[in-house]
Amino acid sequence: MTTLPDTFPPAARIQDLTSKIGQEVTLQGWLYNMRLKGKLAFLLVRDGSGICQCVLFQGDVPPEVFEKAKSLAQEAAIVVRGTVKADARAASGVELAVKDLVVVHQGPEYPIGPKEHGPDFLLSQRHLWLRSRKQAAIARVRHQVKRAICDFFDGEGFTQVDAPIFTPSACEGTTNLFELEYFEEGKAYLTQSGQLYMEAAAMALGKVYCLGPTFRAERSKTRRHLTEFWMVEPEIAYCDLNGVMDTAERFVSHVVNYVLKACPKEFQELERDTSKLEKIAAPFPRISYDEAAAILKRKNVPFVWGDDFGAPQETAVCSEFDQPVMVHRFPAEVKAFYMKRDPADERLALCVDVLAPEGYGEIIGGGQRADDLAYLEAQIAKHKLPKEAFEWYLDLRRYGSVPHGGFGLGIERTTSWLCGIEHVREAIAFPRMLYRIYP
Ligand code: 4AD
Ligand code: MG
């Protein structure tokens, strides 16, 4: 780094400046924007933790420093020294009266200006777009979502176990697998879900969860689908569908509350009306698939009994409630091979989807797992899955099989809902979608 003159005090971060009023500090950052007014230059400096207005008065700094400041390009890397002053009008609550400025790097004109840009352009500039206020706020919310997740499960006695990314078999159907050659072992796949491995880990540790990337070769271009997304998957031994739903509602309430507390500035930056989020609290309404079907019928949403829900059906159902709604017991035919049947109605699976309010749709899929060996063997055959690849999984039903269940929550869908953004692609730093692998 450019060596700073001895007169520069140790660096401070913008987020900590309110506790340093009256002190002289050094800020290390980038020029977000600048306004000139006679003998004053107003520099908006960002340092990753916030944005601070830094005011240069021509009479306060050497003439060459004022000239240097006037010629700065957007995103020039700069270090400023100045005194922190309280300023009630500023979002950060402070501003800096600048005494000195060092230019660390000055580049050509920055490609992303203050004018509006289309999503395609911004996505191809994603490596730079991340520096904008709104995108940085979303990144911080996502970070707190992940902290909230670990905080909840760690607090309830779960052990975090990491699931593999290379897998020998499918978990969520064979139509959206990313396939690759694995040395002499033949075909392998990128994981669609860590669930099957968490089932094994739950039999070892009782309550476990994994948090990591998962992959689906989805040929869909919706605002809810990525080809690479992050999922948290808890799995619990000695647990039935009701237990899964109890955990899911406590968990979602905790995540929402935690993030609301951690991110007031971010929600303000995103202009998110948080009043609806503040009302989120367990218990959540629980309705059966049949009850959801009746809502769709009443609302004239095209739908036939037996079908899975798509985005229009989810949106229609979840917009009926101001809490997340848990839709349970879908027809087994449209759900994954591992689900346990409902003993009260063999057509149905003991599963649950949690739909977020405000039209955000499914954020959780889960349920109780089939625990009977013969039934699972039949399901594997029916779904034309290679039995050899599942022998280890079947072992879990051979040795000490117990009722168990769990769920998966998508990090990007949850972050989008909390941030109130349109598309999941902004809820991850580098989204992977059907037509996008760059940058
Ligand atoms: O409903 P899904 O497919 O369930 C499972 O994968 C189970 N094995 C989870 C479990 O029981 N352990 O996916 C779970 C969640 C969805 O509700 C959604 O939030 C997210 O993962 N998700 C996606 N998010 C973004 N893009 C996609 N293509 C997604 N597919 C699923
Ligand atoms: Mg699902």
Give per-residue pLDDT as tens, 121-168.
999 999 999 999 999 999 999 999 999 999 999 999 999 999 999 999
Confidence of residue 230 (pLDDT cuts 50, 70, 90): very high
- State what percent of residues in the chain have pLDDT above 70: 100
Q: Is 172 in the pocket of ligand 1 (CB under 6 A)?
A: yes
CA distance 429 to 131: 11
Cis peptide before 439 (omega within 30 of 0): yes
Q: Is 413 in the pocket of ligand 1 (CB under 6 A)?
A: yes
Candidates 191, 196, 226, 231: which one to mutate for ligand 1, based on the most atoms within 8 Å of Cβ? Answer: 231
| pLDDT at 2 exceeding the cut of 80 | no
Atom 30 of ligand 1, residue of closest alpha carbon: 225
CA distance 53 to 97: 9
Centre of ligand 1 to C-alpha 288, Å, is 20
Ligand nearest to the CA of 413: 1
CA distance 232 to 407: 8
CA distance 212 to 163: 8
Beta pairing, strands 207-215 & 228-237: antiparallel
Question: Which atom of ligand 1 is the closest one to the Cα of 338?
Answer: 8
Q: Is 361 in the pocket of ligand 1 (CB under 6 A)?
A: no
Enumerate residues 6+ apart whose C-beta is below 8 A from 62.
100
pLDDT by residue (tens digit) across 67-111?
A: 999 999 999 999 999 999 999 988 888 999 999 999 999 999 999
- Can you tell me whether residue 389 is helix, strand or coil? helix
DSSP letter assigned to residue 16: G
pTM of the model: 0.97
Atom 23 of ligand 1, residue of closest alpha carbon: 410
For the chain, list the domains and their CATH numbers: 14-105 (2.40.50.140), 124-427 (3.30.930.10)
State residue 92's pLDDT score.
Answer: 82
Centre of ligand 1 to C-alpha 105, Å, is 43
Ligand nearest to the CA of 367: 1
Ligand nearest to the CA of 417: 1
Q: Is 215 in the pocket of ligand 1 (CB under 6 A)?
A: no
CA distance 139 to 144: 9
251 touches 243 (CB < 8 A): no
Q: DSSP secondary structure string, 31-57?
A: EEEEEEETTEEEEEEE-SS-EEEEEEE
Rounded to an integer, the average pLDDT of 245-258 is 99
Give the mean pLDDT of the chain. Answer: 96
328 touches 379 (CB < 8 A): no
Centre of ligand 2 to C-alpha 123, Å, is 27
Q: Is 412 in the pocket of ligand 1 (CB under 6 A)?
A: yes
Ligand nearest to the CA of 405: 1
Q: Is 324 in the pocket of ligand 1 (CB under 6 A)?
A: no
Centre of ligand 1 to C-alpha 409, Å, is 6
Centre of ligand 1 to C-alpha 230, Å, is 9
Q: Is 408 in the pocket of ligand 1 (CB under 6 A)?
A: yes
pLDDT by residue (tens digit) across 263-292?
A: 999 999 999 999 999 999 999 999 999 999
Ligand nearest to the CA of 410: 1
Q: Is 216 in the pocket of ligand 1 (CB under 6 A)?
A: yes
Query: Whose CA is closest to 356, among 315, 310, 313?
Result: 315
Q: Is 84 in the pocket of ligand 1 (CB under 6 A)?
A: no
For 278, the enclosing helix (H) or strand (E) is helix 275-278
Rounded to an integer, the average pLDDT of 378-399 is 97
Centre of ligand 1 to C-alpha 232, Å, is 9
